[in-house]
Structure 1
């Protein structure tokens, strides 16, 4: 197994190739980007931010880290790793981007499962707190603060793009993937966290219809489902689940209070894995 950072980055200001210097990254036009103490680089220009501190907050990242470290989404991570490592020939190296990497859980689990496969890996998130947390735990990958709307990656340079419960940008994913490259999108299934949602919402929305057609530039290869039950056996784990999801902000005050008062909750984890190939 060889795990290395994906280093073919482009300047977010002019799309020129970036070169590594001893303090950061620089393009031929002189735009420079410092590498942080944790080892990540911020390639999100101020003019591309929609808010002062975009993406998940520091408390959301901390809650998600504790929740994922407890193994509650381990089944999803294992299914994702199997699908990625089955792509292409076993002797071929894979360049992998997690677009919306959060605190890096799924890339770390992929690296752990890689066996003899060679991987060059890039984790990108719009949240500086997420990328800072990811870089602090594993420096084998390249970690970047950036946006899915303008990925700082050259055309046709990636074999795999992951979009885990995130914000897909199909045109950008098609641009950066090689022909035949894999786009693996993971979405919440109809019953995902249903037990929590029944507590915090007066009524549940009808499930979204299953995707019928591929995104432009792609063909759907497989659609798989992961489903298992988990038990949250402490007040703290239930709070972490609530804080790490958008449900915290969508729920009513009454619904949040009900969830926060619990000390035990059985939940359903259900995800759909949609594998598409770049045409």
Structure 2
């Protein structure tokens, strides 16, 4: 894949277009946002932060980076890449945002897919540590600290929006997608990591069937189930899997101790990939 610079950032304060000027992004009103030496830009105004250090912690990001770089979730990444590239324009660059990009694994896998498509990639996450890790691993994309609730992206500028195990803000996604653009959403299924959850919790609550109405401004296109068994043969991989999920913090000390005692574990990966098309006028 050919990756080109992303050009559709807007000022988080005024909403005016940002333009690259050396090591900064600048808007017509004089606001300037420096590009950190690691290659990312902070576009989350302090008044819109709900905590001093929002999002995933440095330790959680490091665990996710080790686990995903081990290839354990590659079938999910491959399904996402297929969905992104389906019906892609043959001549124009395909602009794609990963909303809640974490340490950038899925955009890197997309960029590594064989093909002649030209991509303009933007990764957004509210965690500074996640965006920093993403930028360190791949400088080709544009990496930004920001919130899904206030995306620093121009209206109707994107062909694809990814929301993978994240927090969808469909109104914002509809705003930034071009008419005919697609939202690709990946959500955990009923059996996702069931064996791990059975170890760390005393009992599992039955989940009610997910009610997933089509978001306003979108039409339903398709869905794909991605399900496979994952055998982890190292305690470090099991620890990283637990650390990159909310279960580490929700489980009791006893549950975490049971997981820490494991030397191997086979878990079910069970997710659903959904595709929604942005309606004209949506």
Q: Under a length normalisation based on structure 2, what TM-score does the superposition of the two structures give? A: 0.96
Instruction: State the Cα deviation string for residues 190-224 of structure 1 (Å, max 9, x = none).
Output: 11100000011122122342344200101110011
Which consecutive residues of structure 1, in runs of 5 or more, have no partner in the other structure? none
1:207-218 aligned at under 5 Å gives the runs 207-218=207-218
Secondary structure (helix, strand or coil) at the match of 1:3 reads: strand
Once residues 56 and 47 of structure 2 are traced to their aligned partners in structure 1, the CA distance between those partners, rounded to angstroms, is: 19
CA distance in 2 between partners of 1:113 and 1:265 (Å): 30
**Corresponding residue for 1:257?**
257
Partner of 2:225: 225
Alignment of 1:1-279 (within 5 A): 1-279=1-279
Cα distance in 2 for partners of 1:176, 1:114 equals 27
1:28-56 CA-to-partner distances (Å, cap 9, x unmatched) read 11111111001110000111100000000
Return 5+ residue gaps in structure 2 as ranges.
none
For this pair of structures, how many residues does the alignment match? 279
Q: What is the TM-score normalised by the length of structure 1?
A: 0.97
RMSD, matched Cα: 1.1
Q: 1:89 to 1:31 in 2, by over 3 A?
A: closer
Q: 2 CA distance for matches of 1:248 and 1:172?
A: 30
1:236 is paired with a residue whose SS is helix
1:187–1:272 contact (8 Å) kept in structure 2 = yes
Q: Distance in 1 between matches of 2:243 and 2:208?
A: 23
For 1:114 and 1:12, locate their aligned partners in 2 and report how far apart those are by CA, in whole Å: 35
Moved over 6 A (4+): none
Equivalent residues of 1:85, 1:114 under 8 A apart: no
- Residue 82 of structure 1 and its aligned partner are, at CA, apart by 0.5
